[in-house]
Amino acid sequence: MHETCIAITGVAPLIVHNGRLADPLDPMTRQLAELTGKRKKTLEDHLRISRVEWEGGLYLDDDGEPCLPSECIEATLVAGAKRTKQGRDAKAGIVVPDHAKLVYDGPKDVEAMWKSGKFLKRNGVRVGPARVIRSRPIFHAWSTTVRIVWDPDVIRDEPDLLKICEAAGQMGTCEWRPRFGRFEVRKIS
């Protein structure tokens, strides 16, 4: 196995949406259900719903700071590899062993991020036939470093790997791509 580290720099804002709110046993999902189950919602209720949706959408590392999970990065690389007709090879030959800490201007603490208002994107989305407003975390200027472990028996060589990474960057990562989440790639080591 070979190892390559790349620097990723966002060229479009990044919108993230952790799937944890789909888990009915997750404490944030239960809190959200309690708030949305009320018939008559006050403005305060709507603010609390927005906060829970936003916080539940964040990906946090073990230090409680925003990150890109390794699973998201791998899925992005596989999607990029499909553009170069190497999707199956990427699935079999590329592993991202670590979550990637997000680098951005602003606080790393969830409470301070929420209070700043800079990291909130509210948009209408379709839920069945209805259109509802949802709150998502957004990072306007972002970057990260990613360690990729790859199998030279599957991925031909490092230039081939970098082509996959560049194709992935054109497609973007996480939510609402390719309008959001697009990035440039630079090899570090």
Non-local CB neighbours of 102 within 8 Å, separated by 6+ positions: 14, 65, 66, 67, 68, 139, 142, 143, 144
Q: Which residue has the tokens 């990613």?
A: 146
Q: Distance between CA 177 and CA 13 in Å, rounded?
A: 10
Q: Distance between CA 19 and CA 16 in Å, rounded?
A: 10
For 50-105, the pLDDT digits (tens) are 999 999 999 999 999 999 999 999 999 999 999 989 899 999 999 999 999 999 99
For 96-132, the pLDDT digits (tens) are 999 999 999 999 999 999 999 999 999 988 888 989 8
State the pLDDT at residue 127. Answer: 84
Please determine, for residue 189, whether its predicted confidence score (pLDDT) is greater than 90: no
Tokens at 101, concatenated: 């800490």
Contact 99, 61 (CB under 8 A): yes
Residues 170-183 have a mean pLDDT of 96
DSSP E strands, the chain: 2-10, 14-15, 67-68, 94-95, 100-101, 103-104, 120-127, 130-139, 142-150, 183-187
State the pLDDT at residue 125. Answer: 86
At residue 18 the predicted structure's pLDDT band, cuts being 50, 70 and 90, is very high
State the pLDDT at residue 172. Answer: 97
Indicate left, alpha or beta for 123 from its phi (over 0: left) and psi (-120 to 50: alpha). beta
Whether pTM > 0.85 for this model: the answer is yes
**Domain map (residue ranges) of the chain:** 2-18+64-105+138-187
Q: Distance between CA 64 and CA 69 in Å, rounded?
A: 13
Please determine, for residue 174, whether its predicted confidence score (pLDDT) is greater than 90: yes
Q: Distance between CA 101 and CA 154 in Å, rounded?
A: 28
What class is the 2-18+64-105+138-187 domain?
alpha beta
